[in-house]
Structure formats: structure tokens, C-alpha cells
Amino acid sequence: MPDISNVKKIVVAGAGMTGLMCALQLRKEHPNKPIVVFEKSTHIGGMYSSIEYDTEGYIFDHGMHVIYESCNAKIDDLYREIMPIADWHIYEGNEKDIAGLFFNGKLQDFSHYVDLRSYPKEQWQSYIADFFTSLEQNSDSDSKTAMEYLRAHFGSVIAEDIHSKLLSNLYKINPEVIDIFAIKATALERVIMFDKELMIDLMKSDLIRTRLAFPDQINLPPYRANTQKALYPKKFGMQGFLNRFRDKLHEQNIEILTGVDIQKLQCDNSHITHITLSNTEKGSYEIPVETLVWTAGWSALASSLKMDISDLKFQRGPRIIYINLVLDRPPIMGRLYYFYCYDSGFGSFRVTSYSNYCPNACQDGKYPVCVEFWPSRIGLNADETTDEQLIQLAIGELKEIGIIQDHQVIFAKAENLKSEFPLPSIVNTKNLQEIRTRISKENIKNLTVAGIMAEEGLFFIPDILNDAFKKISKTSQTED
């Protein structure tokens, strides 16, 4: 049973990676205060958890998930505190993120940025001419939409020929109403235009380096501004790390409640005083609140505050279906950890070969592969398509791409977790900003909001954690 005493507690809403990391840091800043984390799901870790098939003995992550450092020792040291260095694979430099792209009918194993060199010479030359003309005349800093940014960043010819079609294919909406955030979410800020011999000289220009990608990621010159590393457990499955995380939190006397719903947030004099939670087995219980750190999303917070946001109509993002496969041989994708698929006519968005960054993922000659499949890209409704149909579609696409040839599929399972990729539309961005504004006007003194999209553009975990730790540190200093 949860601790339902009248002692005020630091409460963390959400047990995803952000909530868990915040809870551990809060314990360091408040060694003697009671801390409780609650989560609607029955498991912790959010999308960093794993799917385990007990009968077959297979385990899969939710697509590709490694931990990228935040370049902040306060954050990054926690990973090694939870699990010792000896239990981590640590990748750095050009090994940190080996990603590819299926584009224009070819699998690029050298970069995940769009390669324009494969186009006919005359077309490629027109891209070059317009790019350099635009470089002299335009600035992307004042852009408000994705297409405005892309036209200023690359020139109108590349933006219209390449990116307009690409964005339309991915999200199935008019590319002119896609927010600039989409550039960051789907890594469209660079293109490949020249061979590496020329790029070595061109990359000396900061202006060029922010627009053109080096065409050989493994041999990329050391132009990085930081020493960020990527971490993944040596034992396959992020769930092992999360189990260690749970143990660490328990050691620190941090209470974790899973499978609970929030019924009420009680406010008085611009402070949240109590939170009422419910569980089917334990019933309802009220927890006195000293500070609330909310990592469960703005819309859920507005709902918990009984705020009317019915006038804000959000556009739904693409449904993600995880197609988990086990092959009898490695997929034919070189050293790639994963690759994106941007070509039209494909439902596959990202394909991950786990054994390429965690050798332990291969057991007894069996290789796990995950296809993150967006049925909407090929005009299908995820709820009206059977698991078997989705599996066969995914396998067929892998064969067409060429990473499966005469492979045997030993195991196949489709996981429809009802999760969606956030649709980066202008409407959704404005709606989120409106919710932020309305909640900010409530001036709740003991509320801190962190997590994905807690601030405009926050999407990747290193940025999210840096933002979250800055906020909770500032709150702690104010309380002291």
C-alpha cells in the first residue's frame, strides 16, 4: 500500500525516463524528504521499456532506444551510478550513432541524410546552383514553418523537389502546414551533395556544415562540438537497466506507484495541496503535496486541473505498430544500427538491427529486428488491419529494400500499443503553446513541468533532461 500519511511529499507524475531521472536527482537535492513517483501504466520506463515474450524467450525494445548522454555530468553520472560502467556498451565518436536511409530506391549505409548525388547530373547541378544562390540571399532564422525553413536553408528547388514530397509522404498532410519542429524530429536539417574529398574543405565553413552532410559517417572528420557518448546495456534489452533503476530508487527510499490513475489535483492559494490517485486493487487515496514535478504531458495536466481545453482540436499523429521479427541470419544492412525509410509506397518508418549495437542480442544464431510501421503511410487504418497482414506487409517491404533475401523468419509478432508519433503540425504546436499559456496563468507556485514538449521543441531525451534538471535545481534553490 502507498504511504498515505499526512506528511507532505515531493510527487513526480510519470515514470518514464524523465520522471525516473528527476526522482533520483530530487533525492540528491532533498535527502530527507519523502518522494513518490506515480505512473498510469503497470510498468516503468515508458518507451524505454522492453517487450518480453516469455513463452518463446525473446525480448525486444520499443524500436531503437539507446541512451545518449546529455553532456551534463550531473545527469550522465547517474547512468553509471544506476549501472556500473562494466555493464554498459559505450559508443563514442563516429560509432555513437550509425544510421542509414532507404531513399530513392537505395539503402544508404553511409548516412541517414538525403543523398542528392544519385539524381541525374543536370538535376543535381540545378540543386547545387540554387543552394549556393539561396545561401547568399536567405536566412532561415526567421522561418515559421518547415517549408519556409527548408526553402531558406537549401533553396526552393531542393525544398520543393525533395522535402515537400518527403514530408507529405510521412505525415499525409499538406507540407505547408507542418511546423518547423519536423526538421528536428526527422533529421532533415542536412543533405548530401558532394563527395567526401570536397566536403572535407567545405566543412570548414560553419554555414556549410549546418546544411550539408559528410557522405561517410564512419570516417567523419572530428568537427563535433561535444564528446557525447551513447550507452546501451551489454545484456540485451533496456528492461534490464530499468530493473536496476527501480532497485536504485527503492534503495533511496523513493516510492513507486504503478497502474494508478489521477482523480483530482486540489489547489489552494496558488499551491497544489493534495493529489488523489486511484487503483483498481487499492481504491482511492489522497497524498499531501509539497512539490509536484509533472512529466506526463501538458494535455494530461490540463485535464487533471479540470481545465477546459475542448476548444483545442489536436491532429492525430501516425499510429506506430512494432513488428518484431527474429531471423536466422543477420539482416543485410552492414553496420547500421537502424535506418529510416522515406520512399513513398512503404509503411516502414524505421528498421532496427539490435545485434549491430548489442552483440548479445543474437542468441543461438537468432537475430532480432524491429520494424516501426506506420500503416497510414500506405493508406491503412491500424485498427482495421490484422496483425498477420501487418507482419506480411513489413516482411515484404524488407525484401523489397533488400535486407531480407533467403532469410528464414523464425518469429514474428505485431505490437499495437496505440502509440502515435507526434504530428508536427502548426495546429498542434499552437495548441500546446495555448495549454502552456493557460496553465502558466494559474501561477501554481509548487508545480514544475518537464518532459517531452515541456517547452517548445523539446523532443530528444538529452535536451529534455537538461531542461528538467535545470528546473528542479532552480526549484530546490528557491525552496532552500
User: In a structure prediction context, what are the per-residue pLDDT tens digits for the chain, which is 480 residues long?
Assistant: 566 668 999 999 999 999 999 999 999 999 999 999 999 999 999 999 999 998 889 999 999 999 999 999 999 999 999 999 999 999 999 999 999 999 999 999 999 999 999 999 999 999 999 999 998 777 778 899 999 999 999 999 999 999 999 999 999 999 999 999 999 888 899 999 999 999 999 999 989 999 999 999 999 988 766 789 999 999 999 999 999 999 999 999 999 999 999 999 999 999 999 999 998 887 898 999 999 999 999 999 999 999 999 999 999 999 999 999 999 999 999 999 999 999 999 999 999 999 999 999 999 999 999 999 999 999 999 999 999 999 999 999 999 999 999 999 999 999 998 999 999 999 999 999 999 999 999 999 999 999 999 999 899 999 999 999 999 988 776 665
* Cα(357)–Cα(90) distance, integer angstroms: 10
* Cα(18)–Cα(434) distance, integer angstroms: 23
Q: Under 8 Å CB-to-CB from 374, ≥6 apart: which residues?
A: 170, 318, 319, 320, 321, 347, 348, 349, 421
211 and 173 in contact (C-beta within 8 Å)? Answer: no
Domains 9-50+72-80+237-311+426-479 and 318-420 agree in fold: no
CATH no. of 9-50+72-80+237-311+426-479:
3.50.50.60
Q: Determine phi and psi for 460, rounding to 5 degrees.
A: -100, 145
Where residue 459 falls (left for φ over 0; alpha for ψ -120 to 50; beta otherwise) is alpha
The CA radius of gyration of the chain, in Å to the nearest whole number, is 23
CATH class of 318-420: alpha beta
Q: Determine phi and psi for 22, rounding to 5 degrees.
A: -65, -40
Structural domain spans, the chain: 9-50+72-80+237-311+426-479, 115-215, 318-420
* Cα(348)–Cα(92) distance, integer angstroms: 28
The answer to whether the predicted template modeling score (pTM) of the entire model surpasses 0.75 is yes
